[in-house]
Amino acid sequence: MAKLLEVRNLSVAVRRGRKRLYAVRDISYGISGGEIVGIAGESGCGKTLGALAIPRLLPRGVEIAGGEIVFQGRNLGVLSERELCRIRGQSLSMIFQEPMTSLNPLMKTGRQISEVMELHRGNVPYHRGDFSALCRKETLDIMRKTGLPDAERIYRAYPHELSGGMRQRVMIALSIICRPALLIADEPTTALDVTIQAQIISLMKNINRELGTSILFISHDLALISQLCSRILIMYAGKIVEEGRVGEVFSRPAHEYTRGLLFSIPSREHKGAALANIPGRVPSIEEFVPGCPFAPRCALSHESCYRVFPERKQLNENHWVCCNLPNVSPLRREERREGHAGFKAAGSDHSG
Ligand SMILES: Nc1ncnc2c1ncn2[C@@H]1O[C@H](COP(=O)(O)OP(=O)(O)OP(=O)(O)O)[C@@H](O)[C@H]1O
Ligand SMILES: [Mg+2]
């Protein structure tokens, strides 16, 4: 079956004078209809720029430097701005960490949602007055679906009158009012407290189940990804370094980076224990690394890892890794508890 979204060899670059610095380097993946896919990775790995490239919403000075994005069988790279606008409003939406940046502070929240609907479904054959009433009713329905209490009151409220969790729900209502085929959610719960986070995750599940919307969910939080997603992409330094079904990647990670991220999840039985962070840091986009970008932080790296860029290897039907020496072994409980003894201490150099 054709994929809903196919990202093929996508590269995204930041312009610095005459130079192009690559924030996303030659990534490929697909999302099927109704699927929820997670993207994880430390800060600066290119998750956001990779996602913003899909609806062509990259900030100034950042551009697509290669590859293709095919959505519902159409190559988005060749569409006019007008056609793209239609797709963004109707079949592909995005939500961000801070909803205030996307909501209009001067307009009542309900009106903002129904306006989107009027704009994008304006071709429905209704008498104008009836159509507005219909939009208002559907807006209230969608607001209730997102769990907003007292939808009538919130319809009339301005964004600043709402709590962070309510604003995020309004943002989600806004993004699903046209029943998009794909919702890209970039850290939608990071600014919210844990209880609200859990509610937003269950709302995402409902949207997926009831509307059949596919979701690309970007998060630092692997625990949230495991609750929501069926497949995960792990990004490091602009590359997808591991990809697979969540159950398999979490229990048998093949990339040392993935293992490191997994050790950083606080376990239930050791609440309050210090997180085992991965020593070292993500290379900046200015630093060119000829071999594996993770080699300086990887306990298993060999001298060749600093020279040879790792090929993508298929481990089984649903599991891929980009590593010269993949180490597929089950994640042991005690490893997680003790932190990852396998990582080099921060700042330690490679000796080959
Ligand atoms: N508007 C921009 N102009 C220049 N460089 C940028 C811009 N946005 C991001 N970058 C750089 O591109 C790289 C990837 O950034 P991106 O925001 O995609 O990372 P991220 O994985 O989403 O990180 P985070 O988890 O912090 O959101 C980083 O090195 C960042 O500094
Ligand atoms: Mg980001």
Amino acid at 166: M
Q: Is the CB of 59 under 6 A from ligand 1?
A: yes
In the chain, which stretches have pLDDT less than 70?
1, 121-129, 266-276, 331-352
pLDDT of residue 286: 92
pLDDT at 119: 80
User: Would you state the pLDDT for residue 145?
Assistant: 86
202: left (phi over 0), alpha (psi -120 to 50) or beta: alpha
Within a domain: 351: no
Q: Is the CB of 23 under 6 A from ligand 1?
A: yes
Report yes or no on 64 lying in a domain: yes
Residues 9 and 78 in one domain: yes
Does residue 204 share a domain with residue 62? yes
Query: What does DSSP assign to residue 34?
Result: T
Q: What is the pLDDT of residue 236?
A: 96
- Are the CB atoms for 151 and 140 separated by under 8 Å? yes
pLDDT tens by residue, 145-197: 888 889 999 999 999 999 988 998 999 999 998 889 999 999 998 888 888 88
CA of 151 from ligand 2 middle (Å) equals 31
Q: What is the 8-class DSSP label of residue 99? A: G
Q: For residue 266, what pLDDT is reported?
A: 62
Q: Whats the size of the chain, residue-wise?
A: 352
pLDDT value of position 139: 92
Indicate the number of domains in the chain: 3
Same domain, yes or no: 36 and 152: no
Domain end (from 158, 179, 200): 179
Amino acid at 177: I
Task: Supply the range of the domain harboring residue 5.
Answer: 1-91+180-229
Answer whether residue 241 is part of any domain. Answer: no
pLDDT given for residue 351 in this prediction: 33
Q: pLDDT value at position 337?
A: 46
CA distance 207 to 238: 29
Domain assignment of residue 308, yes or no: yes
Asked whether 233 and 37 are in contact (CB, 8 A), the reply is yes
CA dihedral of 152, 153, 159, 163, whole degrees rounded to 10: -110
**Closest ligand 1 atom to the C-alpha of 42?**
25
Residues 46 and 2 in one domain: yes
Q: Is 40 touching ligand 1 by the criterion CB < 6 Å?
A: no
pTM, two decimal places = 0.89
